[in-house]
Chains A and B, each alone.
Chain A
């Protein structure tokens, strides 16, 4: 992919979903132009490009209409350039397994973090933390099966699930710290804890991971627009 502006990505530095797409683009060494969005004041381009959700990330590829939803964008990138660092496995069953866990990560695991942020009462918080531990244990089992003794979900190489889950490490770490909580209590969730350290230090992800200040400022923003209420 020679021409940098052939691919544009609308994102925001603190968004793990935007980070996810950047992680994939970096792994595939695909050049792209990154456009930072201010979610408190969304650009016309963003609203026009994603009228349904008005969210980042959005991928603009050449003269095609926009592609939205981070998992879908990652699959698209993998399909247009399977020769560059293939993320999804070739076997149908393995692909189905990836999509199953990707759905679990986005629909069951990560929403717990938003729920925790919105819950102020102690009993509610404890209940959510229990669910987080359970979800992390599920992911631990998935990791053990998928990695087959190797470093990543994808085996020796970073694969689709490493990208799908890896982008959340910094964010979830931040929430854990705010809540004085360590779900990776290493006695219980040993392998995933090792993997988390490893993936967080991968250059393709590290280079786009937001710093503490960026995250704090973003959390400040969310607390205004979607304040805690439970």
Chain B
């Protein structure tokens, strides 16, 4: 019986990007269902009644929501390229950093963006980014996952591509190259991975989004 895999999302979402990267890593064929978030489909509301958000993965009719939960599910349900480390301890560490990115890092970066690069907000975002910079330094490899991307790299998708676009749109700087040489290099490496690149929307579109949403009138 062939697997039926559908992904509900919209192409410019970093959270959806996490899932498409995971699906691509495993070589999974799927149908992408584009959602208009100002007019959500009945299916989306049925499959994610709790949050009513994208992404939602529907595997043989069963829905899974929340991007990191979906990524772990994909790793669980399909063999092939591993997304989480095999070692139990390393797995716990990967989950820790993925959670850190979601709970601390991204919200701080977002605050810097919505506050148009206000000094204190940028300083707080940079404080969080420093932990990731240190992590890459200690690892001494191309990716958080070592020679290949893993859960942590995927969790940091927003930083790799969306942050730069936001900085350009608003004329602010959070991820400066001199403060964050490792992360800067990592960004380039990450978005060059075929499994990531294949589904990225043009940068101009994201710049335009940030300009429209957060730019000064």
Could you list which residues of chain A lie within 8 angstroms of chain B, going by C-beta atoms?
A: 52-53, 61, 64, 67-69, 72-73, 75-76, 79-80, 92-93, 95-97, 99-100, 103-104, 138
Contact B65 A100 (CB under 8 A): yes
Partner of B76, one of A75, A95, A138: A95
Q: Can you list, as one digit per residue, whether each of B78-116 has a CB less than 8 Å from chain A (1) or not (0)?
A: 000000000011011101100110001000000000000
Partner of B92, one of A52, A72, A100, A138: A72
Q: A80-B88, A96-B72 are in contact. Are A138 and B50 (CB under 8 A)?
A: yes
Partner of A68, one of B50, B64, B96, B131: B96
Q: Is B32 an interface residue (CB 8 A)?
A: no
Name the prevailing secondary structure of the B interface residues.
helix
Closest 10 pairs (CB-CB, A-B): A92-B76, A96-B73, A76-B92, A92-B77, A99-B69, A79-B88, A96-B64, A72-B95, A67-B92, A100-B69
Considering the chains assembled together, what is the distance between the CA atoms of A104 and B59 in angstroms? 21
Considering the chains assembled together, what is the distance between the CA atoms of A68 and B104 in angstroms? 14
Could you list which residues of chain B lie within 8 angstroms of chain A, going by C-beta atoms?
A: 50, 59, 62, 64-66, 68-70, 72-73, 76-77, 88-89, 91-93, 95-96, 99-100, 104, 131
Please, which residues of chain B bring their CB within 8 A of the CB of A97? 64
CB distance from B10 to the nearest CB of A (A): 21
With contacts A64-B89, A99-B66, A100-B64 known, what are 11 further pairs, Cβ within 8 A? Answer: A67-B96, A69-B96, A72-B95, A93-B77, A95-B73, A96-B73, A96-B76, A99-B72, A100-B65, A100-B69, A104-B50
Please, which residues of chain B bring their CB within 8 A of the CB of A80? 88
Output the nearest chain B residue to A107 by Cβ-Cβ distance: B103
Partner of A100, one of B66, B88, B89, B96: B66
CB distance from B7 to the nearest CB of A (A): 15
CB distance from A206 to the nearest CB of B (A): 28
Contact B96 A103 (CB under 8 A): no
CB distance from B51 to the nearest CB of A (A): 8
Q: A99-B69, A100-B65 are in contact. Are A69 and B99 (CB under 8 A)?
A: yes
22 contacts between A and B (CB under 8 A): A53-B104, A69-B95, A69-B99, A72-B99, A73-B92, A75-B92, A76-B89, A76-B91, A76-B92, A80-B88, A92-B73, A93-B59, A95-B73, A96-B64, A96-B70, A96-B73, A96-B76, A97-B64, A99-B72, A100-B64, A103-B68, A103-B69
Contact A52 B131 (CB under 8 A): yes
Output the nearest chain B residue to A138 by Cβ-Cβ distance: B50
Please, which residues of chain B bring their CB within 8 A of the CB of A99? 66, 69, 72
The total number of A-B Cβ pairs within 8 Å is 58
Please, which residues of chain A bring their CB within 8 A of the CB of B88? 76, 79-80
CB distance from B89 to the nearest CB of A (A): 5
Partner of B89, one of A67, A68, A69, A92: A67
Contact B100 A93 (CB under 8 A): no
Contact B91 A93 (CB under 8 A): no
Contact A103 B66 (CB under 8 A): yes
Contact B95 A75 (CB under 8 A): yes
Please, which residues of chain A bring their CB within 8 A of the CB of B59? 93
Please, which residues of chain B bring their CB within 8 A of the CB of A61? 89
Contact A93 B64 (CB under 8 A): yes
CB distance from B177 to the nearest CB of A (A): 24
Please, which residues of chain A bring their CB within 8 A of the CB of B100? 52
Output the nearest chain B residue to A135 by Cβ-Cβ distance: B50
Output the nearest chain A residue to B98 by Cβ-Cβ distance: A72
Considering the chains assembled together, what is the distance between the CA atoms of A170 and B68 in angstroms? 29
Please, which residues of chain A bring their CB within 8 A of the CB of B69? 96, 99-100, 103
CB distance from A78 to the nearest CB of B (A): 10
Considering the chains assembled together, what is the distance between the CA atoms of A131 and B89 in angstroms? 37
Considering the chains assembled together, what is the distance between the CA atoms of A86 and B96 in angstroms? 21
CB distance from A131 to the nearest CB of B (A): 13
Please, which residues of chain A bring their CB within 8 A of the CB of B50? 104, 138
CB distance from B22 to the nearest CB of A (A): 13
Contact B66 A79 (CB under 8 A): no
Considering the chains assembled together, what is the distance between the CA atoms of A75 and B84 in angstroms? 13
Please, which residues of chain A bring their CB within 8 A of the CB of B76? 92, 95-96
Considering the chains assembled together, what is the distance between the CA atoms of A76 and B90 in angstroms? 10
